[in-house]
Amino acid sequence: MADQIARANGQPPMLTVEGLKTYFFTDEGTVRAVDGASFEVQAGKTVGIVGESGCGKSVTALSILRIVERPGRIVAGQILLRRPNAKAPVDLALLEAEGAEIRAIRGGEIALVFQEPMTSFSPHYTIGNQIVETIQLHQDVGKEEARNRTIELLRMVGIPNPERRIDEYPFELSGGLRQRMMIAMALSCNPKILIADEPTTALDVTTQAQILDLLRDIQQRTQMSVIIITHDMGVIAEMTDDVIVMYLGRVVESGPVDEIFHQPKHPYTQALLRSIPSIFAEPRTKLPTIAGSIPHPHNRPTGCPFHPRCAEAMPGICDRHEPRLRPISEAHFASCFLYHEPEAAPPS
């Protein structure tokens, strides 16, 4: 798949995730949080990852940064990051999780902003302390210089009075300001990729819109790649160039945002889109649930993981064979037997 897209637009992707499997080995059994996810992130593009709760979006993000916590572990797959001066991309999945190489990438080349603006800063230190620390981790600058840069960053993300705010503690700030601070911290080392895991879920509607505007504005100015994780088809429609639809740890459909919205191929994507009345009338409606319930993570269905809930499931095929992510058109992929024949013998 990587080669196909590379051939399609002539530029290799910034990040290629190939067959990623991240499992949690708990006492109750193995949770296959990410179970063979494959997708790509192009340089300078915004990619949305969407799917119901528990489908492995956050674990995918944590896997890319290699900060999955025990008992979780990447058991298979590649995470290829293209780097400016290197010939071959580096496979993050092979790096030592606490080694210097991945730590230079974390926060330096790939940055993370996530959902909890209330608790994602430590209450024990000022915002300034925590951002300055990030800068000094990755860049060889003195305290004074790092502090000046921090003030500049705060100004850039639209924080009034940055010279004063820099010395405040997180609990002195509103949720919106805190999320701006979080974005400032993520941007502090000019990352190539910004991962935003539900960056606006915890905020009120007005603030949500402001934060999304800010993210879009920054993306356009810096030309970095953005991975935005959300439940919200409205956010996807507004923000992204490409969409990745996940279901039970797998990518079931991916493609340019227009194609996903206008010609969704996978029955799950169609159901996701059907479940919002009109994306343009009310952009930030939460996804109502789709018929049937998400299977328990410990015992996923055989064959196509979606078949118990799929209206178009074909008995004898969908419950016995596993569909593969296959191209529908140049950049549009779906994993469904409506679009390709089962190839291998069913697993015994």
Partner 1 sequence: MLTYTIRRFLLALLTIWAISVLSFAIIQLPPGDYVTAYIAQLASSGVDVTPEFAENLRQQYGLDSPVYVQYLKWMQQISRGNFGRSLEWRVPVLDIIGDRLWLTMAVSVSAVLFTWGLALPIGIYSAVRQYSIADYIFTFIGFIGLAVPSFLLALILMYVGFRYFGANIGGLFSPEYLQADWSLGKLWDLIKHLPLPALILGTAGTAQLIRIMRANLLDELRKPYVITARAKGMSELRLILKYPVRAAMNPFISTLGYLFPFIISGSIIVALVLGLPTIGPLLLRALVAQDMFLAGTIVLFLGILTVLGTFISDILLMWVDPRIRFERRE
Ligand X SMILES: Nc1ncnc2c1ncn2[C@@H]1O[C@H](COP(=O)(O)OP(=O)(O)OP(=O)(O)O)[C@@H](O)[C@H]1O
Q: Please, what is the minimum distance in Å from the beta carbon of residue 291 to ligand SF4?
A: 13
Spatial separation of the C-alpha atoms in residues 82 and 91, rounded to whole Å: 9
If one asks whether residue 114 binds ligand X (CB under 6 A), the answer comes out as no
**190: helix, coil or strand?**
coil
Q: How far is the CB of 218 from partner 1 (least distance, A)?
A: 18
Going residue by residue from 36 to 65, which x/- string records binding to partner 1, judged by CB under 8 A? --------------------------x--x
Contacts of 142 (CB under 8 A, 6+ apart): none
Does the footprint of ligand X cover residue 98 (CB under 6 A)? no
Cβ nearer to ligand X, comparing 50 with 214? 50
Binding positions for ligand X, 262-301, rule CB under 6 A: 297
Nearer to partner 1, 50 or 111 (CB): 111
Range 30-49, binding ligand X (CB under 6 A): 31, 33
Establish if 27 lies at the interface with ligand X (CB under 6 A). no
Helix (H) or strand (E) run with residue 179 in it: helix 175-187
Residues 62-81 that bind partner 1 (CB under 8 A): 62, 65, 67
- Binding part of the chain for ligand X, among 11-19, 25-33, 99-107, 209-217 by CB under 6 A, reads 25-33
Interface residue with ligand X among 44, 54, 301, 308 (CB under 6 A) is 54
Run of H or E residues at 291: none
What mask of x and - would describe binding to partner 1 in positions 136 to 165, judged by CB under 8 A?
A: -xx---------------------------
Residue 135 or 228 with smaller CB distance to ligand X:
228
* Single-letter amino acid, residue 48: G
CB of 297 to ligand X, least distance (A): 4
For residues 54 and 299, give the distance between their C-alpha atoms in angstroms, rounded to a whole number: 14
- Site for Mg ion contains 22 (CB under 5 A): no
Binding residues for ligand SF4, rule: CB under 6 A, are: 266-267, 304, 306-307, 310, 312-314, 318, 323, 336-338
Q: What HEC string does 292-314 produce?
A: CCCCCCCCCCCCCCCHHHCCCCC
Residue with tokens 């079931």: 252
Whole-angstrom Cα distance, residue 26 to residue 76?
Answer: 18
CA angle 345, 25, 294 (to 5 degrees): 65
At which residue do the structure tokens 């969407």 appear? 50
Alpha helices (H) in 20-84, listed in sequence order: 57-65
Burial of 9 (0-12, 13-18, 19+ CB in 10 A): exposed
Q: Which helix (H) or strand (E) holds 284?
A: none
The binding site for Mg ion (CB under 5 A) comprises 58
The binding site for partner 1 (CB under 8 A) comprises 62, 65, 67, 98, 103-108, 111-112, 114-116, 119-125, 133-134, 137-138, 169, 171-172, 182, 185
